[in-house]
């Protein structure tokens, strides 16, 4: 009884461990099911589904070890539109206990291999969709940008991206998209993108009273330390 109330967090994401080829000349790959994604029709309801949309039919997908990390690697050709990216689908964004809001915290590592100086690693975005995503496309995410970031395309230097956002509308499902936004990235050689250590945690939004209490405790502790330091300084002066 009350097991739903006992839950304090939902954890999603992927850590890649085994290098190997996944698919060759496939536009989009469903890593969770190990099948190609057609790009049309209603998407499945499997919780925590990872799909990488490469847009071009010449896209290659694999797991590789690069610069100390084991990562998902997608290599594609032609200019990418806003649908290109990494999609984490079918996440439970519903609130905890009686709350309709939830706090979503995310982190991942990203890197690019730009062999012909055509990749743009600037102004990438993290977006979320507060509801079901019927197909893998950026239209479901609208303008829900929660972070804009830059990273390195030197095939060596990983960038860790992290942040959080609050889902306030009580949606029971949702999704996260990592993509190039409006920056655009086109390339026709062996260049591509690496994604590693994708982690998402959904928790309750801290109550205002709890936040205020923690802040008050911190202030009292700081005052106590200040008084203790002043007392010691006075004794030394004597």
Model confidence pLDDT, tens digit, residues 173-200: 899 999 886 665 555 556 789 999 999 9
* CA distance linking residue 189 with residue 185, whole number of Å: 13
CB of 173 closer than 8 Å to CB of 93: yes
CB of 141 closer than 8 Å to CB of 120: no
Residue corresponding to tokens 């990872």: 50
At 79-106, the pLDDT tens digits run: 667 788 999 999 999 888 777 789 999 9
pTM confidence score: 0.81
* CA distance linking residue 129 with residue 228, whole number of Å: 51
CB of 227 closer than 8 Å to CB of 220: no
* CA distance linking residue 91 with residue 177, whole number of Å: 12
């Amino acid at each position: 009884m009350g097991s739903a109330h006992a839950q304090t967090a939902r954890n999603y994401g992927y850590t890649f461990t085994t290098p190997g080829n996944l698919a060759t000349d496939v536009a989009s790959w469903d890593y969770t099911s190990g099948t190609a994604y057609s790009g049309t029709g209603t998407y499945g309801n499997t919780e925590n589904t990872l799909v990488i949309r490469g847009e071009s039919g010449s896209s290659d997908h694999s797991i590789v070890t690069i610069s100390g990390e084991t990562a998902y690697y997608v290599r594609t050709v032609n200019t990418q539109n806003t649908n290109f990216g990494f999609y984490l689908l079918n996440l439970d964004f519903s609130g905890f206990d009686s709350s309709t809001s939830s706090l979503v915290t995310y982190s991942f590592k990203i890197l690019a291999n730009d062999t012909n100086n055509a990749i743009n690693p600037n102004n990438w975005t993290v977006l979320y969709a507060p509801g079901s995503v019927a197909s893998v496309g950026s239209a479901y995410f609208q303008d829900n940008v929660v972070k804009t970031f830059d990273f390195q395309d030197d095939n060596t230097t990983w960038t860790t991206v992290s942040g959080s956002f609050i889902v306030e509308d009580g949606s029971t499902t949702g999704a996260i998209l990592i993509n190039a936004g409006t920056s655009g990235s086109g390339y026709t050689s062996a260049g591509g993108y690496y994604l590693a250590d994708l982690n998402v945690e959904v928790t309750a939004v801290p109550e205002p009273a709890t936040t205020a209490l923690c802040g008050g405790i911190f202030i009292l502790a700081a005052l106590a330390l200040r008084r203790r330091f002043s007392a010691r300084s006075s004794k030394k002066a004597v």
